[in-house]
Chain A
C-alpha cells in the first residue's frame, strides 16, 4: 500500500459552503492511506477567475504566500481551481526572474525557497496503485449505475501548468468511476465548461442548461464532478433553472469522493441532506 504525505489545501468553497465535500475527500484519502497535513495559514489560493482579474501582482503574492508555507511537502488540493491557480503562479515564479524577485522580496522569503509540487487529489486517486486499491476496497455492487463524468476546465488545463491527464480527452475521472464498478456513460459536449465562472449570469445559465440537456439525452443516473464550483453550478443551478425557466432535470450530482465512499460501503448518506438534488436511486 502506498503511503504519501501532502499539505492539504481545502480551498474556499468547500470550507465555507460545502464542508460535507471536504469531509468526504478527507475520508477517501485516509482510506487509501494518503497522509494529509493541515496548514492553518492557507488563504484563498487565490481564486483564478475573480481575484486574479484584479491584479497580476496580488495574485502572484498571495499564491507565493500559500506556496511558501510549512516546508517542502507537496500540496494536494480539493479544488481544481486552486491546483491550477497555484500551478500557473508557480510557472510564472519559475520563469519570470524579475517578477519572482519582486514577489520573494515582498514576502521576505529565503532565496532557497523551493516551490512545492501542486496537484489535485484526483491525480493521486487515478494513479495505478491507488486505483487498484480502490477496486480492492469496493464492497457494493454499482454495476447497474449509469454515471456521467464532468471534468470541468482547471483540472486538466492549462496543461503547461497543471501537467495532468490529457487537456482535451482526459480519462482519470472515468478511470476512478470505473474502479468503483459503476458504468461510465458518454454524452455530447462532455468537455464543455459548466458555465459557473462566466461573470455574466445569462451566459452561465445558458451553458448549464445546454450541459443538462446533453446529460438528459444520455439517460444517466448521476453526474460525478471533481470541482466544488462545478458541483454547486450543477446542484444549485438546477434549482435556479427550475424556478426561472420551469426546467426540471432532477439529476443528482456527486463529488467523486462521495461515489467512492458509496462503493466502499461507507456511510455517505448523512451528507446527502446538503444536496439540493438527492441521489434517490442510491438511497
Chain B
C-alpha cells in the first residue's frame, strides 16, 4: 500500500517520463491494444489515470497488469494528447525491479543478460550448429562486458 508523502506522487518517475497527466481519457489507446483485447484486466487508459493520481495499489506488483503490455507502441503512435504510454509502463516496471517484485521469467532473462551478456545461454548443440553453418564464434566475454558496463552506475 502506497501513501502520499509530502504531497508527492509515489509514481512520480512514471509521470515525469511518460506524461500521463496529459491524458484527457479519449480511450484511443484501448481500441487496438493487444493486451486490452486479449486479457481481462489490462486497460491502458485506466493505468495512466491511476498513475496521474498516484494510486499505486496493485500496479507495483508481481501480478500487476503492466506485465501484459507487449510494448507494441500502437497506443504511442495514436495518442493525441502527447502521453508516452510505453514510458509509463516501463517506468512502473523499473519501480517493480527496485522493489524486487517481478515475475520469475522476467528476472530470469534479466539475470541472463547481466551474467552472460545475452538473453539465454549458448548450448553445445547451438555452438556446434554455428560451426557447421560457418558462423562467427560468440565471444565468451560478453557477461564480463555487461558487468563492467552497468557495474559502476547501475
Q: Which residues of A contact B (CB under 8 A)?
A: 12-13, 15-17, 19-20, 22-23, 26, 38, 40-41, 43-44, 46-58, 61-62, 65, 102, 106-107, 153-154, 157-159, 167-168, 191-193, 195-200, 202-204, 206-207, 210, 274
Chain A hits for B38, CB < 8 A: 195, 203, 206-207, 210
Closest CB in chain B relative to A67 CB, distance in Å: 12
Q: In the complex where A16-B118, A207-B34 touch, is A22 in contact with B135 (Cβ < 8 A)?
A: yes
Q: Find out whether the CB atom of A56 lies under 8 angstroms from the CB atom of B91.
A: yes
Q: In the complex where A16-B118, A43-B118, A158-B86 touch, is A54 in contact with B94 (Cβ < 8 A)?
A: yes
Q: Find out whether the CB atom of B142 lies under 8 angstroms from the CB atom of A43.
A: yes
Closest CB in chain B relative to A276 CB, distance in Å: 16
Q: Find out whether the CB atom of B103 lies under 8 angstroms from the CB atom of A199.
A: yes
Q: Which residues of B contact A (CB under 8 A)?
A: 17, 32, 34-35, 37-39, 42, 67-74, 76-77, 86, 90-91, 93-94, 96-97, 102-103, 105-106, 109-110, 113, 117-123, 126, 129-130, 133-136, 138-139, 141-142, 145-146, 149-150, 152-154
Measured CA separation A13–B119 after assembly (Å): 7
Measured CA separation A15–B120 after assembly (Å): 10
Q: Find out whether the CB atom of A157 lies under 8 angstroms from the CB atom of B145.
A: no
Q: In the complex where A16-B120, A207-B34 touch, is A200 in contact with B77 (Cβ < 8 A)?
A: no
Residue of B120, B122, B135 with most partner-chain A CB within 10 A: B135
Given contacts A51-B109, A56-B94, A61-B149, could you give 14 more A-B pairs where the C-beta distance is less than 8 Å? A12-B119, A22-B133, A41-B142, A43-B149, A44-B146, A55-B97, A65-B145, A107-B149, A197-B71, A198-B67, A199-B68, A199-B103, A206-B38, A210-B38
Query: Which single member of A62, A154, A199 contacts B150 (CB below 8 Å)?
Result: A62
Query: Which single member of B76, B130, B139, B146 contacts A157 (CB below 8 Å)?
Result: B76
Measured CA separation A200–B145 after assembly (Å): 31
Nearest B residue to A201 via CB reads B105
Count A-B contacts at CB 8 Å: 172
Nearest B residue to A204 via CB reads B70
Q: In the complex where A38-B136, A157-B72 touch, is A57 in contact with B35 (Cβ < 8 A)?
A: no
Q: In the complex where A20-B129, A44-B119, A54-B94 touch, is A197 in contact with B70 (Cβ < 8 A)?
A: yes
Q: Find out whether the CB atom of A198 lies under 8 angstroms from the CB atom of B113.
A: no
Q: Find out whether the CB atom of A199 lies under 8 angstroms from the CB atom of B67.
A: yes
Q: Find out whether the CB atom of B121 lies under 8 angstroms from the CB atom of A196.
A: no
Closest CB in chain B relative to A153 CB, distance in Å: 4
Q: Find out whether the CB atom of B97 lies under 8 angstroms from the CB atom of A53.
A: yes
Closest CB in chain B relative to A104 CB, distance in Å: 11
Q: In the complex where A23-B135, A40-B139, A54-B97 touch, is A62 in contact with B68 (Cβ < 8 A)?
A: no
Q: Find out whether the CB atom of B119 lies under 8 angstroms from the CB atom of A200.
A: no
Q: In the complex where A62-B150, A193-B72 touch, is A44 in contact with B135 (Cβ < 8 A)?
A: no
- 24 CB-based A-B contacts, threshold 8 Å: A16-B122, A38-B136, A41-B145, A43-B118, A44-B118, A49-B70, A50-B110, A51-B109, A54-B93, A58-B154, A61-B149, A61-B154, A62-B149, A106-B152, A153-B70, A157-B73, A193-B34, A193-B72, A193-B74, A195-B34, A199-B103, A200-B67, A203-B34, A207-B37
